[in-house]
Amino acid sequence: MEMLEQNCRISDNIFSRINNEELQYLNLLEHILENGILENGRNGANKSIFGASMRFSLDNGVIPILTTKKTAWKTCLKELLWFIRGNTSNTILKEQGVHIWDANSSREFLDSRQLTNYQVDELGPIYGWQWRHFNKQYICNNDRSFIDKHFAYNYHNPEQYFINIDDQGIDQLQYIIDALKEPTKRNSRRLIMSAWNPSQLDQMALPPCHVLCQFSVKNGNKLSCALYQRSADLFLGSCFNIASYSFLTHLLAHHCGLEAHEFIYFMGDCHIYENAFEASNLQIQRNPYPFPTINIKQIRDNIDDYTIDDFELHNYNHHEAIKVDMVA
């Protein structure tokens, strides 16, 4: 109790809180607000620290979706399924009512990244591309149209302009699934999926923030995931990142006949943007509820085939949403 009194100073009624894992997040918010370095970054003023971590149990179907503000978990899950399928077009998300990538796929933002040949809503070889086609050459839609027009009947030397058009890259996610399904391979220390590809960063609308995850099976069937995130927008982004990789861990465990055990979250640059200071102060005054649980209703033959209707969330009690504009 003495240690709790020393470390948790975010509310007068701290001891009434029963969700100690969410306190990790709230304490980090407070720590950054009180001790973070105020600086002007690429996209505005923020307070930041370097280096933090959290651990969340996934046992018994628990999933750490933050409760001290309403988290749009369906939006988060739709984005994850979009990653899993290797999609990179924001149009697909917009058709599902998901708009979290709109600012980063606008004409203005793409031009600021010197991606002037990209069409609006084209994001380049971002997360899903690297998860399912790591290092496959990315050809933007306009260039693909050029190929189809000029090389449809003239394939004598297409590599003059484009190399390895038919190369599918490396399917990192399927490699992990195959290993998890094989008892002699699932305890490998090489079950790693990377979104950070230096050779293609300049083709991405936004270089990846959550850059690398590693999966580990202990005690024969307990699946855990560790994520390293180079850049964490703690107020707006991290709540999605925690939920997303916890969803992914539950899904892989379900799909491969294992049990989800733990999500471990490592962060490099942790920051709160200036427009979220007031909102963060509001959130840390709230008492968290217990996390909800998840049920996945069936096992699909292919990881690409899961839909949002396959997921059920139970007992998600939460405080009201806190609206803050995303800083692109």
Q: What stretch of H or E contains 37?
A: strand 37-41
With H, G, I as helix, E, B as strand and everything else as coil, classify residue 216.
Answer: strand
* Mean pLDDT, rounded, for 266-276: 96
- Is position 209 annotated as part of the catalytic site? yes
pTM: 0.89
pLDDT at 148 over 80: no
Q: Which pLDDT band holds residue 15 (cuts at 50, 70, 90)?
A: very low
Does residue 51 come out as left (phi exceeding 0), alpha (psi in the -120 to 50 range) or beta? left
Q: What is the rounded average pLDDT of the residues 27-40? A: 96
User: Which pLDDT value is given to residue 147?
Assistant: 61
Q: Report the pLDDT value the prediction gives residue 30, as an integer from 0 to 100.
A: 97
Give the active site residue among 8, 76, 209, 213. Answer: 209
Answer whether residue 266 shows pLDDT above 80: yes
Q: Does the pLDDT value for residue 327 go beyond 90? A: no
Q: What is the mean pLDDT of residues 157-177?
A: 72
**Helices and strands counted in the chain (H then E):** 10, 8
At residue 171, the 3 state secondary structure works out as coil
> What is the pLDDT at residue 44?
81
d(CA 77, CA 297): 15
- Looking at the domain that runs over 50-151+159-271+294-314, which CATH code has it been given? 3.30.572.10
pLDDT reading at 149 higher than 90? no
Closest among 139, 144, 133 to 170, alpha carbons compared: 133
Higher-pLDDT residue of 121 and 42 is 121
Position 152 scores a pLDDT of: 47
Question: Cα–Cα distance between 50 and 70 in angstroms, integer?
Answer: 27
* pLDDT of the residue at 16: 41
Residue 60, judged by CB atoms within 10 A of its CB (0-12, 13-18, 19+), counts as: exposed
Question: Do residues 318 and 70 make contact, with C-beta atoms less than 8 angstroms apart?
Answer: yes
Q: How would residue 85 be classed by pLDDT, with cut points 50, 70 and 90?
A: very high
CA distances for 132 relative to 5, 95, 197, angstroms: 46, 22, 13
pLDDT at 114 over 90: yes
Confidence band, pLDDT 50/70/90 cuts, at residue 8: very low
